[in-house]
Amino acid sequence: MSFSMDVKEELFGVNVAARHCKIAELSALVVQCGKIYVDKSGHFHIKLQTESGYVARKCNILFRRLCKIPLFVSVRTSKGKQSYAQYAIDICGDENVRKTVELLKLKISGKDGTLKADGMVWMQACCKRAFLRGTFLASGSISNPQKSYHFEICETDQGRAEQLTELMHSFDVDAKTILRKNYYVVYINEGEQVSEMLNILEAHRALMEFENIRIVKDVRNSVNRKFNCEMANLSKTVNAARKQYEDIVYIRDSVGLHELSEGLEEIAQLRLEYPEASLVELGEMLSPRLGKSGVNHRLKKISEYAESLRGK
């Protein structure tokens, strides 16, 4: 099972006690999966369709706990290489539809019967959490944190996408929206923000797993950065030492090291004898001892002299 499905399984099991939170969560599920339409006889219906068993069961549970509106549930299973179930929940009759719309604070958002929730359904912070939880359960996904940090919810309606973005912003989550094909995608792609979103949804078990993975990745990345930095410094040191050695050999073979001043000749002889030694180690071999900057200064003078000889 994917990490995203693990999160949804956990969210399915979250049972809130407050009636207003149940209403907010069910409102989100109906908005995401449902549409309102009029049949040939002129009667209103709200029809919910989903391929998620979690969503279908959650809708059924919440409807039974909140009201006595009858639901007509059907399941259609496709057969083939990739079989899946299509769940449909139908709320029939003008009065039942009216009760549902009033209970869940629903509004028609588009000509095709697309639904949208009124902001009255999430007047409290706990209701905002419940609404976001229902929305993610129906239309959200989260990537495997082992690979990347990405949380998203796909919306077919721009107004609903803007609502979700504002809801997340109310929790100081920096959600953004992009248009991908025919969908408005509300997304978060920063590890700490995704972690905060899991906490808002009350997916605490998934949050612990996510944080453990994030800690291990951060430590690994820190070690890799340190190693790469050390390797880069080592490479730089080795290249500098090789250049110094080549310059000294050039001077020796061209005019002889005796042409250098006493201090420069001494450090040149040491570099030839110890080509892999660091500047600090070379300085400790001198008498009197010389610091790293002093050794570097002398070797720089030698390189400048070698370049002047090459120019001639």
Position 282 scores a pLDDT of 85
The C-alpha atoms of residue 115 and residue 109 are separated, in whole angstroms, by 5
Domain check: are 257 and 167 in the same one? no
Domain check: are 181 and 288 in the same one? no
Domain check: are 165 and 256 in the same one? no
Instruction: State the pTM of this model.
Output: 0.75
Residue 224, in any domain of the structure: no
Question: What are 105-164's pLDDT values in tens digits?
Answer: 999 877 788 899 999 999 999 999 999 999 999 999 999 999 999 999 999 889 899 999
Tell me the CATH number at 31. Answer: 3.10.28.10
Domain check: are 239 and 130 in the same one? no
Residue 212, in any domain of the structure: no
- Domain count of the fold of the chain: 2
Residue 241 has pLDDT above 90, yes or no: no
Q: Comparing 223 with 26, which gets the higher pLDDT? A: 26
Domain check: are 98 and 194 in the same one? yes
Position 81 scores a pLDDT of 65
Map residue 62 onto helix, strand or coil: helix
Map residue 215 onto helix, strand or coil: helix
> Could you list the residue range(s) of the whole structural domain that residue 297 is in?
231-311
Q: Which helix (H) or strand (E) holds 28?
A: helix 19-33
Q: Which helix (H) or strand (E) holds 160?
A: helix 158-169
Task: State the average pLDDT over residues 208-235.
Answer: 88
Q: Which of 5-19, 115-129, 161-175, 216-230 has the lowest mean pLDDT?
A: 216-230
Closest CA to 5 of 68, 49, 55, 48: 55
In this structure, how many other beta carbons lie within 10 angstroms of the beta carbon of residue 49?
Answer: 16
